[in-house]
């Protein structure tokens, strides 16, 4: 039984159709990430679920309640949907404690204090309870925002680009931490991001959004390995799209023969991830190294193939090839590719 259901949600701003006919279900306790480029309508989708915007069509169900639909609109304060804003939107005149307690006005004083403390402990900020937001670091503010959203025990937590305001060095650690906190709180959560790495590593399931549409939904591995379209393949990670001739379970391309996930025949395009290629130093090789991006544990090479096209190859950084070197590029042994448009 899913906890949150969106059915045919649409929203326009004037002539701009920000969200078009979106369907999405989120299971209880699940963390779903909506991934899309900026301007694809993902923030609008969050605001529709939170109740800050009214959909023009479709309905939003949270728990057992229809919160938006034909002839029905529940205002945001009655939806029990928590939101973590991109810039946190902490109340600057209130302490950390009072920020977290803001949504607990209905409780008695002692209940409120206990729950506030418990939530602050969950995010590890009980020692900063009396500070004001401006006295905190970016990461601490983020955790306060999360605690504030979680404290009223909402049916759903929405996170709008929660890590985009943080330094890259902080991001990975906080991502883990947020994942653990959400897990501990057993919260159902929807996260919106344009950062594919973030979405892939954090989400239980991923919804890829483009121009107001959701173009693919699935677990991260599935979305990465079996992109639904060329666009999705290119947006989620790096990819080489190669033309080839399919013969049943194999496809012949200019880089060699790849296995196909599903049998096909005739002229096709396949998505080949950079790590599905191999290369070796070879003076008579079929490609030349044009650029090299060293990323620590691995290296991304940009090659010029003798056919003229650019090919991306990712390898462990055990053996480095220099820029300008001749290499031979071929399919990796285990490479299974997917057809794209």
CA distance 27 to 36: 21
Residue 102 contacts another protein per CB under 8 A: yes
Q: Least Å distance between CB 62 and another protein?
A: 12
C-beta separation of 249 from 259 below 8 A: yes
Tokens of 109: 């004083």
Question: Which of 11/273 has CB closer to another protein?
Answer: 11
From 15, 75, 266, 308, residue interacting with another protein (rule: CB under 8 A): 75
137-166: contacts with another protein (CB under 8 A): 148-149, 152
Residue 322 contacts another protein per CB under 8 A: no
Interface segment toward another protein; rule CB under 8 A; list 97-105, 163-171, 190-198, 319-327:
97-105
Interface segment toward another protein; rule CB under 8 A; list 49-57, 168-176, 208-216, 235-243:
49-57
Interface segment toward another protein; rule CB under 8 A; list 4-12, 88-96, 111-119, 281-289:
88-96
Residues found in the chain:
341
The position carrying tokens 């001749």 is 326
Residue 52 contacts another protein per CB under 8 A: yes
Q: CA neighbours within 13 Å on the CB side: how many for 80? A: 15
Residue 77 contacts another protein per CB under 8 A: yes
Rg, C-alpha atoms of the chain: 24
For residues 134-171, one letter each, b for 16 or more C-beta atoms within 10 angstroms of the residue's C-beta and e for the rest, the string is eebeebbbbbbbbbbbbbbebbbbbbbbbbebbeeebb
Enumerate binding residues for another protein (CB under 8 A).
47, 50-52, 54, 75-83, 85, 87, 89-93, 102-103, 105-106, 148-149, 152
């Amino acid at each position: 039984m899913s906890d949150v259901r969106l059915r045919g949600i649409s929203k326009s701003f004037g002539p701009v159709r920000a969200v078009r006919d979106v369907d999405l279900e989120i299971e209880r306790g699940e963390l779903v990430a909506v991934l899309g480029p900026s301007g694809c309508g993902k923030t609008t989708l969050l605001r529709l679920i939170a109740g800050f915007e009214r959909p023009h069509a479709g309905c939003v169900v949270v728990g057992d309640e229809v919160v938006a639909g034909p002839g029905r609109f529940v205002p945001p304060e009655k939806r029990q949907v928590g939101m973590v804003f991109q810039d946190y939107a902490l109340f600057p005149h209130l302490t950390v404690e009072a920020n977290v307690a803001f949504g607990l006005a209905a409780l008695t004083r002692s209940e409120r204090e206990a729950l506030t403390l418990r939530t602050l402990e969950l995010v590890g900020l009980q020692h900063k309870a009396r500070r004001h937001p401006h006295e905190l670091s970016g990461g601490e503010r983020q955790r306060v925002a999360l605690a504030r959203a979680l404290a009223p025990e909402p049916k759903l937590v929405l996170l709008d680009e929660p890590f985009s305001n943080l330094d890259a060095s902080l991001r990975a650690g906080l991502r883990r931490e947020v994942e653990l906190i959400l897990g501990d709180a057993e919260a159902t959560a929807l996260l919106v991001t344009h950062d594919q790495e973030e979405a892939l590593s954090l989400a239980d399931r991923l919804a890829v959004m483009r121009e107001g549409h959701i173009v693919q939904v699935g677990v991260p591995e599935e979305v990465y390995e079996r992109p639904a379209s060329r666009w999705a393949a290119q947006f989620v990670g790096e990819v080489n799209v190669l033309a080839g001739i399919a013969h049943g379970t194999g496809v012949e391309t200019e880089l060699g023969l790849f296995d196909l996930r599903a049998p096909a025949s005739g002229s096709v395009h396949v998505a080949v991830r950079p790590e599905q290629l191999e290369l070796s130093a070879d003076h008579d090789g079929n490609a030349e190294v044009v650029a090299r991006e060293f990323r620590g544990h691995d290296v991304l090479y940009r090659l010029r193939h003798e056919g003229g096209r650019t090919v991306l190859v990712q390898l462990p950084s055990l053996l480095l090839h220099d820029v300008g070197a001749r290499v031979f590029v071929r399919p990796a042994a285990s490479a299974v590719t997917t057809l794209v448009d």
